[in-house]
């Protein structure tokens, strides 16, 4: 089943707010075999909303809409949909009771604006919003369905997961499935990996496709199986995934869809080993990426953000001679930083960074974007100098990913 999404809000089109709803909806629908074929973002303007609806319904039978359902005057979606489907607004006691209950739980008082949230088009089916005041509205016309949901991500996710997806599948009597198996591969360029897997791709069943999703240093491979019966698809995709793992061997270092930090964490957790970081130019971003992974406390002990030379010297025990002769941005410094944080926090592994993230601070010998990274595992260590392009945030992000990958490579040699 193909679906389109319409996202409403002036704030999205001026860049004040980033749309995260449509990506989340697409991922959730994909789990049940439905595909989003187009996403449209429009302002809070009646004509633009109705034009988007006309265009979407000309292509698909299901449109999911988010936004414009708040209690303020600039939120016009409810009134627009009422006119579009030929109805009138009526007071719904069940919606009002739901809003009252939510306000009571939050110890808030009702006002005129929240009272008006209980007015809904008489041509829609109301789906109660258990975590917000704006009800979800289900419209049907000529076999097509529009579901209008709040733009607040937490509210939209709740109603999608608890009600909307299952209701849509039941309504259209759809039992199709899309199954994915994903892995992370290192030590390949995308073109060389594609050449290596030519014969594997040729023998894949027609219902299974292989996708390449490259990032610097790592390629995410995804097998996708599509069909009408999940029970039949699962053993097929699992069998092909086993063949892929056998072909790639040690180059396949993570057999689930994970971030690079998540993949590193799986390796450490499996071995019962621990990690610490010593960060200068990345300012704790490596630790941030590591601790974004649920369960990282099992293997991550902590970090020292050694931004100044005093901290490098007095906390991590980088020698003053090294700092004077080689500088903070040097091979010698980052190697001593890894050894220092490893001893300080008693870990098996360590990562260290020191560089010039910019926009200032560079020199002819060490221009902006120069970053030294060191990793350590037991008594083995290595260091490498990188020259990253981009702005300050890009340098920090690229240094973070490179550092994580370096430790993965050291651990999997």
DSSP string, 62-122: EEEEE---SSSTT--HHHHHHHHTT--EEE-HHHHHHHHHHHHHTT----HHHHHTTEEET
**Nearest to 346, CA basis, from 276, 261, 256, 259:** 276
pLDDT at 178: 86
Identify which of 221, 130, 142 has the alpha carbon closest to the alpha carbon of residue 183: 221
Residue 307: CB atoms within 10 Å = 15
The first and second tokens of residue 251, run together, are 């180059």
Please give the structure tokens belonging to residue 219.
Answer: 């390629």
From residue 354, alpha-carbon distances to 56, 326, 396 in Å are 51, 12, 10
Contact predicate 69/150, CB 8 Å: yes
Residue 66 has which token pair?
A: 């988010």
Question: Which pair of structure tokens corresponds to residue 133?
Answer: 């005041």
User: Which of 43, 37, 41, 36 has its CA nearest to residue 6?
Assistant: 41
- Give the pLDDT score at 22: 97
- pLDDT tens over the chain, length 413 residues: 899 999 999 999 999 999 999 999 999 998 888 999 999 999 999 999 999 999 999 999 999 999 999 887 788 999 999 999 999 999 999 999 998 998 889 888 888 878 888 999 999 999 999 999 999 999 999 999 999 999 999 999 999 999 999 999 999 988 778 899 999 999 999 999 999 999 999 999 999 999 999 988 899 999 999 888 888 899 999 999 999 999 999 999 999 999 999 999 999 999 999 999 999 999 999 999 999 999 999 999 999 999 999 999 999 999 999 999 999 999 999 999 999 999 999 999 999 999 999 999 999 999 999 999 999 999 999 999 999 999 999 999 999 999 999 999 999 98
Instruction: Give the length of the chain.
Output: 413
DSSP-based three-state secondary structure for 361: coil
Please tell me the predicted confidence (pLDDT) of residue 350: 98
16 alpha-carbon distance from chain centroid: 20
Domains of the chain are 2-172 (3.40.980.10), 177-254 (3.30.70.2860), 260-412 (3.90.950.20)
Q: What is the pLDDT of residue 330?
A: 98
Record the tokens describing residue 73, joined without a space. Answer: 């005057």
Alpha-carbon distances, residue 210 vs 183, 225, 228, 316, 397 (angstroms): 11, 9, 19, 46, 28
Strand, helix or coil for residue 344? helix
CB hemisphere CA count around 186 (13 angstroms): 21
Helices (runs of H) and strands (runs of E) counted in the chain: 17, 17
* pLDDT value of position 323: 97
In the chain, the largest separation of any two C-alpha atoms, in whole Å, equals 80
Written as six digits, the tokens of 47 are: 């004509």
Tokens of 272: 């019962």
């Amino acid at each position: 089943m193909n679906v389109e999404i319409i996202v409403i809000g002036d704030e999205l089109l001026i860049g004040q707010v980033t749309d995260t709803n449509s990506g989340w909806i697409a991922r959730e629908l994909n789990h049940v075999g439905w595909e989003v074929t187009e996403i449209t973002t429009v302002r809070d303007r009646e004509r633009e909303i109705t034009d988007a609806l006309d265009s979407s319904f000309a292509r698909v039978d299901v449109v999911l809409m988010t936004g414009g359902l708040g209690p303020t005057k600039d939120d016009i979606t409810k009134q627009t949909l009422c006119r579009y489907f030929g109805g009138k607004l009526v007071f719904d006691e069940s919606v009002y009771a739901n809003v009252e209950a939510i306000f009571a739980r939050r110890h808030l008082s009702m006002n005129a604006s929240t009272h008006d949230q209980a007015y809904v088009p008489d041509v829609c089916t109301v789906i109660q919003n258990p975590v917000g005041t704006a009800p979800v509205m289900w419209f049907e016309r000529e076999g097509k369905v529009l579901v209008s949901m709040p733009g607040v991500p937490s509210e939209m996710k709740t109603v999608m997961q608890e009600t909307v997806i299952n209701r849509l599948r039941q309504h259209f009597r759809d039992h199709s499935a899309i199954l994915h198996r994903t892995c992370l591969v290192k030590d390949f360029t995308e073109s060389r990996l594609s050449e290596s897997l030519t014969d594997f791709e040729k023998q894949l069943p027609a219902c299974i496709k292989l996708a390449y999703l490259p990032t610097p240093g790592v390629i995410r491979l995804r097998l996708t199986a599509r069909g009408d019966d999940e029970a039949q698809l699962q053993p097929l995709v699992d069998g092909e995934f086993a063949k892929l793992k056998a072909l790639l061997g040690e180059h396949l270092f993570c057999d689930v869809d994970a971030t690079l930090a998540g993949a590193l964490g799986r390796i450490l957790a499996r071995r019962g080993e621990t990690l610490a970081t010593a960060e200068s130019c990345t300012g704790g971003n490596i630790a941030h990426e590591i601790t974004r992974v649920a369960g990282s406390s099992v293997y991550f002990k902590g970090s020292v953000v050694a931004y100044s030379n005093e901290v490098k010297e007095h906390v991590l025990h980088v020698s003053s001679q090294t700092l004077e002769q080689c500088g903070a941005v040097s091979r010698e410094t980052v190697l001593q930083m890894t050894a220092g944080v490893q001893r300080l926090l008693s870990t098996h592994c360590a990562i260290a960074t020191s560089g010039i993230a910019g926009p200032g601070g560079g020199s002819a010998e060490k221009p902006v974007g120069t970053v030294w990274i060191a990793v350590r595992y037991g008594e083995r260590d290595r260091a490498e100098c990188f020259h990253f392009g981009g702005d300050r945030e890009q340098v920090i992000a690229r240094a973070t990913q490179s550092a994580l990958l370096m430790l993965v490579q050291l651990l999997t040699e």
